[in-house]
Amino acid sequence: MGLGVMFLAAGALLSGRWEGAAQIPGREVRLIIDLAQDDRGRWIGSAILPGFGVKGAALKDVVVGDMSVGFAITGALGVPTLKGLLAPDGTLSGDFEQAGNIARFFLRRVGPAQVEPPRTSTRVRTEFEGSWQGETALMGNPIHARLALANPPEGAASAEFTIVGRREHNLEVDVVAQEGDLLTVEAHEAGATFIYEGRLHAGANEVRGALQEGPIEAPLILSRAPVTAPKP
């Protein structure tokens, strides 16, 4: 079999929506994986992990061989990686690795791929610009959140997102996007992904929404941070 035919065969067999689970000791992690090739023949994909609150997370480092595939799932705790082989019965199975732990996964193709396009940053309205702060709790631990938004002269908005619990976390912001009154900020640190979604209530000068880390979600209202006068 020539290389061209081999890759065409792999593409035809591996493209699609795959559903199944990873058999982690003590629990089962449901997996929904979409794999496809773009118009330039490059492999792309996205993942849904219902138990972790992950929906439409982009796949990265997708490598497809002769009936094999490997990739990492961004936006999920520990950035899980999957390496699997396609069996004669049409199932895809292999190793699911997360934070140094390895479990077996089993997937079966259920239909055509429904790859979620990667979320991109946008500019934000003037009402969103500035510094915001609020309090919440994740798993019973008090959290203080600070968010600063700004529009550069050109291009998408920039954001600084800080969460203070037992220690201070200056998160790396991946996406900041605004659509209507809805603000979305996605950020990460050390494999943990945080998503904040909130709606602007201009009359109250607040953004009311929720902070999510994996499957954990907590209400978070952000209010304008007080402006501190410069020291004389």
97 forms beta bridges with 81, 102
pTM above threshold 0.75 = no
Higher pLDDT, 221 or 10: 221
More confident residue, 118 or 174: 174
Lowest-pLDDT range of 27-31, 72-76, 148-152, 183-187: 72-76
Decide which of 10 and 80 is more confident: 80
| pLDDT tens figures, 163-206 | 998 889 999 898 999 999 999 998 887 667 788 999 999 888 89
Q: Which amino acid is at 177?
A: A
In whole angstroms, what is the distance from residue 98 CA to residue 32 CA? 16
- pLDDT averaged over every residue in the chain: 87
- All structural domains of the chain, each given as residue ranges with its CATH number in brackets, are 3-111 (2.40.128.120), 126-224 (2.40.128.20)
Closest by CA to 69, choosing from 57, 56, 81, is 81
Q: What are phi and psi of 189, to 5 degrees?
A: -160, 125
Report the candidate in 186, 148, 188 with the shortest Cα–Cα distance to residue 169. Answer: 188
Q: Which two tokens stand for residue 11?
A: 């593409």
Contact 78, 85 (CB under 8 A): no
For residue 4, pLDDT over 50 is answered with no
What integer pLDDT is reported at residue 6 of this predicted model? 41
pLDDT at 10: 57
Instruction: Name the β-bridge partners of 212.
Output: 195, 217
47-67 per-position pLDDT tens digit: 998 877 778 888 989 999 888
Write down the pLDDT at residue 98.
84
Q: Which whole-number Å values give the CA distances from 199 to 60, 64, 81, 224, in the listed order?
A: 30, 41, 34, 14
Secondary structure class of 115 (helix, strand, coil): coil
Q: What is the DSSP letter of 77?
A: T
pLDDT at position 225: 85
Max CA separation in the chain (angstroms): 78
Using only the alpha carbons of the chain, give its radius of gyration: 21
For residue 77, the tally of other CB atoms under 10 A from its CB is: 21
Q: Mean pLDDT over residues 101-108, rounded?
A: 94
Query: CA 25, CA 140: separation in Å to the nearest integer?
Result: 26
Looking at per-residue pLDDT, the higher value among 98 and 154 belongs to 154
Q: Answer with the residue of higher pLDDT: 88 or 6.
A: 88
Residue 119 has pLDDT above 90, yes or no: no
pLDDT at residue number 52: 73
Give tens-digit pLDDT for 165-174.
888 999 989 8
Residue 212 confidence (pLDDT):
85
**High-pLDDT (> 70) share of the chain, %:** 89
> Hunting for tokens 């607040």 — which residue is that?
206
If we measure between CA atoms, which residue out of 13, 20, 87, 28 comes closest to residue 47?
Answer: 20
pLDDT at position 3 over 50 = no
Instruction: Give the Cα-Cα-Cα angle 184, 187, 191 (nearest 5 degrees).
Output: 145
Q: How far apart are CA 169 and CA 85, in angstroms?
A: 38
